[in-house]
Each structure stands twice: as C-alpha cells, then as structure tokens.
Amino acid sequence: MSNTKTQANSADEDPFLWLEDRTGKQALDWVHRQNEATTGELQGNPSYQAYFQTALDLMTAEDNIAVGSALSGHVYNFWQDKTNVLGLWRRTPVASYKTEKPDWDTIIDFDRLSAKEGVKWVFSGASRLYPDFSRCLLSLSPDGGDASEMREFDIDTKSFVEGGFRAPASKSGFRWMDKDTVIVSAAFEEDEKTQSGYPRVVKLWQRGTRLEDATPIFEAQKQDLAAGGSLEFDGDKRHLFLTRTLDFFASHSFLRLPSGENRRIPLPDDVTDTMLFRDQLVFGVRSPWSAPDGTRCRPDGLYSLDFARWIETNALGPVDTVLEPADRVSIAGIARTQDRLFINLMDNVRGRVVACQRGGSGWSLQPVALPKDGSVGISHAERFGSSVSFSFTDFLTPSSIIWSDDNAATLTTVKSQPARFDASSLVSEQFEARSKDGTMIPYFVVRRRDQNGPVPTLLYGYGGFEVPLLPGYAGVRGRLWLEKGNAYVQANIRGGGEFGPNWHQAALKANRQNAFDDFIAVAQDLVKRGIATPATLGIQGGSNGGLLTGVSLTQHPELFGAVIIDMPLLDMLRYTELPPGASWMAEYGDPAKPEEAEWLAAYSPYQHVETDAAYPPVLLTTSTADDRVHPGHARKMAGRLQAAGHTKTLFFEETEGGHGGRGDRRPQAAQAAMKYVFLQRALNGTA
C-alpha cells in the first residue's frame, strides 16, 4: 500500500458532506448527472440490451419456483413476473401446491392496488390472526424501504377492514395479541425511537381506540438497538414475550405474566437460536456459559430448560443438552412443527438438517434424509401442524423444494427449477487460502472443468454480522458470466457465520482487519493457482460486503482489475451519524471513542483514497430509498475518487427500492446487466 498523502480525514474538512443530504436538490442533481454518465457508458455497450433481457427473463420466468409456507391447509406465496411487476400475494390448497400447475387464488394484486392509490406499494409481510388466520396486519412499503404502512386486511373477503387497525409508514412492528388487540413495537414519535431509529416502546392497542392512546407495557433504553413484542404459541398455551435488543448480538427477553409483571428470562445476554417447544425453551449461546445447575453451555451447541417450571417457580432448573458442538459445524437456524424441532446445520459450509423430539429420557435426534454436499435450508415449518419443507441447491444444481406432511418422516420433491444455464462443462471446487495470521480460509470456485490458464474471475465476499455465504444456484450469473468461460469465487471469510460465533468474533471491532486479510489471501491464492491474474480478477460485495470491497480497493489496488461496491458502508468515521448506523456499533465499534476511532480510521476506505494510487475501474451502486445503509456512503466515495483524478470511477443510484432492491424487477435486471457489462469490459482489457 502506498504511503502517499490521503484525502482529508475529519468531517469538518469533508468537501462532500453535502452528498449526505438524501433528497436535497444539489445532491440529487449530482446523482442524476452521475446516472446519466454511467448508463450512457454501460447501457450504451453493445452487449447491454441482450444482458438486460436475459436477466429480466430469468428474474420473471413463469417456471421459477413458487416458494411458499403452509398454514391451515393453504400454501401462501408472493409472486412477481413480467405481468405482475409489483407482485401478487396468493394462496393455494396444499394438495394443489404439490401439482405441476397449482390453482392459485390471488389475495392482493399489488400492481392493481398501486394503480388505484397512486403509490408503488411493496409488500413487506403480514401478521395473521390465530386460529383461523383470515385476518392479517398487512405491511406495505411506499418506496421499497424498511419503513412500512400497516393496514388490517381480511383474506376471505380480499379487502381492507373498514375502520380496522391502520398506522402510517414507520419502522414500527405489529403483531396480533387477539382479534381486538394489537402488540405495537412503536417508532412513530422521536421519544419512541432508539438512537438507531427503531422501536423503543411496546404498547397494546385496543380496537376502536386511537393509536396514540395505546397502553405502553415495555420500554428499552434510548441507546439500545430496539424493543419488540410478540405472542408465542406452544400447544394450547400462549406467552407474550418482550425483548430489549441491546445490539445485534445481545438482548434481554422478558415474559409478561398475567399480573402485568415483565419477568426477565435469566439467560446470558448473547443467547441465540431461541425456540419454545413443548414446554421447553431451547437456546444457544455465542460465548461459553455455566448454567446454575453446572451445565456448561458452549457456542454451536443447543440446550433447553423447563419453561413451564420456570414460570411456576421463577427458578431456572436443570439445563439439558439438545445438540453437542462439533468442529466446523455451526447452527444455521431452528424451526418447529407442532411435534418436531428441526435444526439446520452447516458442516464445513454444506447443509444438513436433524429432527428432534423430546421423551421421558430426554432429547433424541434423527438426521433428515436430504441430499448431501449442497445448501440445505428449512423453507417452512408449520407450527400448528406437521408439514415442513426444505430447499436444496448448490452452484450447479437448480433449486428444489422437498416437502413432507408428516414431520419429515416421508419426503417428496414437489418443485424443481429448470436449469438456467449449461453446467455440463463446469465444476465446483472448495479450496483453502492461508490468511496473514495463519488461519485457513475456505472458498468455492466455479469454473470450466478444462480451464487452462487465467480467465476473468469474479470474487464475492461478505464477512460480517455472523451471516454465512452458502453455495447457491444463480441463473443470471450462470448465463451472463459462467457460460462465457469465466470463473466465480465465493470466499468464506471471518466475520461471517460459516463456523459459528467464534468465526464471527474473530473479525469483530478491533479485529476487523482479519476479514479484509482473509479476502486478500483468497485473491492471492487464486493468482497463485493460476485461476486468475490481478488484471482478470474482479471483486464484488454489498452492504457490509461493500465495505469489504472498498477496503480491498484502497489497501490492495494492485490485486484487482475491477471493483464493484454495492450499497456500501465506506465512511467509518461518520457511519453512526447516518441512520441507522448507530445500530452497528457492536459490529464495528464507536467512532466517538478515541480508541475505537483509531482502529476504524486505520481502514475506513473513504479516508484512504489516494491521489496517485493506480486504482482499477470502480462501480459504486446505492439507492435513494435505502433506509438501512445511507446512500451518502457511496455518493461521497464516488465524489472523492473522481475528484482525486480516478476517471474510471462510475456511480449509479437507483431512485426506487430499498436496501434489498425490492419491488419492480426491471431496475434489478438493469443493474445486473450493467454490472456484467462493467466486469466483461474491465477484465477483458477493453475498459
């Protein structure tokens, strides 16, 4: 890394601070000029139109799998295609779902609703009322962001309930308590919000009363991440749980007793994977914990306690072991039907599932007979029934849905996506690279079996928030990248969740550089193996992965031929000032504290742009409506790179859709096409 003079550090000297004004005229005028230049260059490329059409066709194909979840005899699904741009929320009987052409009944047509109301509504989910599930609290985002409006809806009549529950757009949460009471996790007024902008107060809202008159029953602290409430069912028992989320990895959970007392459940702050199952509270931990009875609970294990006994006696009682930890095996998630608990495991970044039940002698575990050596997920588990479904995929195998109506005793593949690209000449391999501190970092390579010499290679990474990157089939990537003889690489760097909490904590806060070093080690290993050269190696990451690729650009520009930075964090000295950045301090640290600001400043990409560095072509993307990672990060980085003379810096900002790019598929297809045009140009030496 060069030691030449970097750009100004402090916010006071920041010449691009004005680009943080999300909807300011000056900032948006700049965005429109940038978009015009970027689309002119990338969409003007001869390959673009075919790329766009291919991406759109694949994203909206009518034979894509309709993934759904069963509830009370129906499978519910949200569906988008070329005709239904904003999508349909629909359902079909379970028996019909299993057929080749299910008979779908549309509940809401969001294109029709949007045309009627003049707002591009994006479906954000629904909370359904037990026990018949016909009433729901519908969440509708007006711009694709996280903030949503809530309205009460009747599924049977397919209409909004006149005079029913309704609330304006916010980051509040709504769950049913009973047919006349809603649990509101409120974030409307400033004093109801945490410093991160999420709900701080939980209230009970009675039908026929004003929202502002709802009764507060629980509060978090201003500096906490959020507060929330939900009604949990366990057989015929109902429990109102209240949660004070301290940060991304710590929380306090409470049970609201009939007396009105909120009694804290005495588990460690970093408890994870909690589930109520047949009077047992199942849980995991992120760090070792000794239970009162002496049971040693370890990360990547699963444990349980007698919840009914705790309610009655207020004493924790014995803790049982559900699942012992094992090397390189981590818990991807848990789910339950009425009579079975399912644990989704990752074993060296490959998936498997075990089914658990509890008898007189304790817990018994049985492997579910699912395909091996790919990504296995639990698609749905019916809490009030016995249906469960699983997904299976890998880099070269199209996704399938494997269904069971009897708690996974018998399994049937009911949906298989058609192949989207020719994989016959391709191979998927797993390698390891030695990071700077000696840690071995696994990564997957998908390429032609007969590859002879370096080819254009796209390296993708994330490495944060305990989120794993798993093998998965992607038709757009296959058609626009792999079929053209290029290679794709996915790095399982520290900071992610591939190997449980310890793998994540190894790149937390002051140790963040480990994640960046891991990514660089994979890049160097690809060159060493002859899969790519620096000139043919491109990198891409989004959100926290955008920080990863931003750091890789500024620390090792000599290693890459192209860099894509999507929806990124880049100014780590100001990220807490851009909502909801304060919610991530448990991951990165607090720039207001001198010691923590020091390690943030050491890698923050925005402060390390150099005027005389030889940066490869860069494409930054963001969204105006992104209310999770502020668009100011990408805007300012683009402005600084261009001002420093790096003319191969392109910027594109989507003016609709939030952090996940929800809503209309056409802008998503356009972005995908532009990115592959960008990579093909840069890595084939024509940029």
Look at residue 676 and tell me whether its pLDDT is greater than 50.
yes
Q: Provide the percentage of residues in the chain whose pLDDT is more than 70.
A: 97
Confidence of residue 295 (pLDDT cuts 50, 70, 90): very high
Sign of CA dihedral 257, 263, 266, 270: positive
C-beta neighbour count of 499 within 10 angstroms = 22
- Report whether pLDDT(306) > 90: yes
Which residues participate in catalysis according to the annotation?
A: 543, 659
Per-residue confidence (pLDDT) for residue 5, from 0 to 100? 40
The residue range of the domain holding 576 is: 26-56+434-684
Asked, for residue 644, whether it belongs to a domain, the answer is yes
DSSP 236: T
Q: Which two tokens stand for residue 340?
A: 């079975």
- Cβ atoms within 10 Å, residue 222: 11
As given in the structure block, the two tokens for residue 560 are: 């890459």
Output the average pLDDT for the chain: 95
Please, which contacts does 123-129 make with residues 24 or more away whose CB atoms are closer than 8 Å?
Answer: 123/78, 123/86, 123/87, 123/89, 124/148, 126/89, 126/153, 127/174, 127/175, 127/176, 128/71, 128/155, 128/176, 129/176, 129/179
Query: Which residue matches tokens 């902008």?
Result: 197
Confidence category of residue 92, pLDDT binned at 50, 70, 90: very high
The answer to whether residue 301 sits within a structural domain is no
CB 59 within 8 A of CB 476: yes
Overall average pLDDT of the 199-206 stretch: 98
Query: Is the preceding peptide bond at 131 cis, omega within 30 degrees of 0?
Result: yes
Q: What is the DSSP letter of 4?
A: S
Which residues pair with residue 258 across a beta bridge? none
pTM: 0.91
Query: Cα dist. 279→23, 190, 239 in Å?
Result: 51, 39, 11
The token duo for 356 is: 């658990």
pLDDT at 27 over 80: yes
Domain assignment present for residue 467? The answer is yes
pLDDT tens, residue by residue, 120-157 = 999 999 999 999 999 999 999 998 888 999 999 999 99
Number of H-type helices and E-type strands within the chain: 13, 39
Residue 542 lies in a domain: yes
Q: How far apart are the C-alpha atoms of 342 and 334, rounded to whole Å? A: 6
Strands (E) in 66-165, as ranges, are 69-71, 74-79, 88-93, 105-109, 122-128, 135-141, 148-154, 159-160
CATH number at residue 663: 3.40.50.1820
Residue 661 has pLDDT above 70, yes or no: no
DSSP output for 328-368: TEEEEEEEE-SS-EEEEEEESS-EEEEEEEEETTEEEEEE-
pLDDT level of residue 618 (50, 70, 90 thresholds): very high
251 within some domain: no
As beta bridge partners, residue 432 has: 442
Residue 658 pLDDT: 53
Secondary structure (DSSP) of 447-476: EETT--S---EEEE----TT--------HH
Q: Is 585 left (phi over 0), alpha (psi -120 to 50) or beta?
A: alpha
Asked whether the predicted pLDDT for residue 347 surpasses 70, the reply is yes
Tally of domains in the chain: 1
Among 44, 19, 190, 111, smallest CA distance to 677 is for 44
Gap between the Cα atoms of 295 and 362, Å rounded: 15
Nearest to 652 by CA among 674, 673, 683, 626: 674
Which residues, in sequence order, are CB contacts of 608 under 8 Å at separation 6+?
6, 7, 554, 555
* b/e burial code for range 156-176 (CB count within 10 A of at least 16 → b): eeeeebeeebebebbbbbbbb
Q: Distance between CA 241 and CA 118 in Å, rounded?
A: 38
Q: Tell whether 655 is covered by a domain.
A: yes
Which helix (H) or strand (E) element contains residue 270?
none
Asked whether the predicted pLDDT for residue 290 surpasses 70, the reply is yes
Alpha-carbon span 393 to 474, nearest angstrom: 10
624 assigned to some structural domain: yes
Distance CA 363, CA 211 (A): 45
Residues pairing with 356 in the sheet: 341, 365
Residue 560 placed within a domain: yes
The residue whose two tokens read 């059409």 is: 53
Looking at this protein, which amino acid is placed at residue 137?
Answer: L
Q: In a 3-state reduction of DSSP, which class is residue 229?
A: strand
CA 582, 583, 584, 587: dihedral to nearest 10 degrees?
120
Neighbouring C-beta atoms of residue 15, cutoff 10 Å: 12
Q: How far apart are CA 197 and CA 213, in angstroms?
A: 21
Distance CA 98, CA 93 (A): 9
User: How many C-beta atoms surround the C-beta of residue 660 within 10 A?
Assistant: 17
The conformational region for residue 333 under phi > 0 = left, psi -120 to 50 = alpha, else beta, is left
For CA atoms 318, 323, 326, 328, the dihedral sign is: negative
Please name which of 403, 397, 350 lies closest in space to residue 374, comparing C-alpha atoms.
Answer: 350
481 three-state secondary structure: coil
Q: How far is CA 559 from the centre of its chain?
A: 28
pLDDT attached to residue 9:
46
pLDDT tens, residue by residue, 220-242: 999 999 999 999 999 999 999 99
Across residues 490-515, what is the average pLDDT? 96
Q: Parallel, antiparallel, or unpaired: how do β-strands 400-404 and 388-393 relate?
A: antiparallel
What percent of the chain lies above the pLDDT cut of 90? 92
Contact 649, 639 (CB under 8 A): no
- Predicted local distance difference test score (pLDDT) of residue 15: 96
Q: Could you give the CA distance from residue 199 to residue 18 in angstroms, rounded to a whole number?
A: 28
For the stretch 448-453, contacts whose Cβ atoms lie closer than 8 Å and that sit 24 or more positions apart, written own/partner, are 448/485, 448/487, 449/425, 450/425, 451/487, 451/531, 453/530
Six token digits for residue 288: 């070792």
- Kindly list the distances between the CA atom of residue 334 and the CA atoms of 259, 322, 377, 605, in Å, as whole numbers in the listed order: 31, 12, 10, 37
Where does the pLDDT of residue 12 fall: very low under 50, low under 70, confident under 90, or very high at 90 and above? Answer: low
Other beta carbons within 10 angstroms of residue 134's beta carbon come to: 13
CA distances for 455 relative to 29, 398, 423, 544, 590, angstroms: 39, 24, 17, 27, 41
Mean pLDDT, range 335-340, rounded to an integer: 97
Exposure string of 622-634, with b = 16+ CB inside 10 Å and e = fewer, is: bbbbbbbbbbbbb
